[in-house]
Amino acid sequence: MATRETEAGSATGSRADEQRQRILAGAVAVFSRRGYRAASMNEVADQVGLRKPTLYHYVRTKQDLLVAVYEEVLDESLASARRIVAGAPSAREAVRGLIVERVRYTCEHRDLLTICFHEESALPPELAAPILERRREFERVVRDAVTAHLRETGRTLPMSVGTFVNTCLGAANWTYKWFDPAGPRSSRQLGEDVASVLMGVLEG
């Protein structure tokens, strides 16, 4: 049975986590609107209705917020990719599901992806390295699914697996630039469309 001290500590931790998520969401709004370099911590504090000293209680620097944005996108993407592969009835369906989900996520989180695609050069090498490793791990999940499909079916690609995977991810990621939320196709429907085109290469 939890003690009152344990329960209080857990509640305090939960509130702190919620506050950090509010701050991160505020930073995403400011960075995507103003650009990371032009944005200030004052603007982030104003966005979430906090005084600047209170903001610094939860996050030390603007750079820490940028790193947190990358970590959120890549951690969510990697966890989702692993779930899709684990739950797919075949490697083919895993590849298709990965493409559909990548398009859906990109279209529904364009503010996050705008930051990730535009601001990578703002990260110093020591902070960029673990983020790049997360990205490589996500790409490995996709590459392994493609390789498994080729092995299961005996098919070959007219290019290297790495080139095919990068083409798929490039096509999916670029939708953040042109997807219209008010358009005739939902983010998932667009994902299905993109997957159909790319799977045609894989299965041709």
Query: Is the distance from CB of 110 to CB of 180 less than 8 angstroms?
Result: no
| DSSP string computed for 22-91 | HHHHHHHHHHHHH-TTT--HHHHHHHHT--HHHHHHH-S-HHHHHHHHHHHHHHHHHHHHHHHHHH-SSH
Cα-based angle 156, 191, 25 (whole degrees, multiple of 5)? 125
In the chain, where are the structural domains located?
Answer: 1-60, 63-203
Looking at residue 5, its pLDDT comes to 46
Q: What is the largest CA-CA distance in the chain?
A: 64
Phi-psi region of 156 (alpha: psi -120 to 50; beta: other; left: phi over 0): beta
CATH for the 1-60 domain, from 1.10.10.60, 3.40.640.10, 3.90.180.10, 1.10.3720.10: 1.10.10.60
Contact 202, 145 (CB under 8 A): no
Q: Could you read off the pLDDT of 83-111 as tens digits, one per residue? A: 999 999 999 999 999 999 999 999 999 98
Mean pLDDT of 123-132: 89
pLDDT at 120: 84
In degrees, rounded to 5, the angle at the alpha carbon of residue 90 between the alpha carbons of residues 96 and 140 is 60
Q: Compute the average pLDDT of residues 27-45.
A: 92
CATH of 63-203, one of 1.20.1050.10, 3.40.80.10, 1.10.357.10, 1.10.10.10: 1.10.357.10
* Residue closest to 107 by CA, chosen among 171, 179, 166: 179
pLDDT in tens, 152-176: 999 999 999 999 999 999 999 999 9
Whether 12 shows a pLDDT value over 70: the answer reads no
pLDDT at 6 over 80: no
Q: What's the pLDDT score for residue 7?
A: 44
Confidence class for position 184, pLDDT limits 50, 70, 90:
very high
pLDDT tens sequence across 136-149? 999 999 999 999 99
pLDDT confidence of residue 123: 86
CA geometry: angle 173, 195, 153, nearest 5 deg = 125
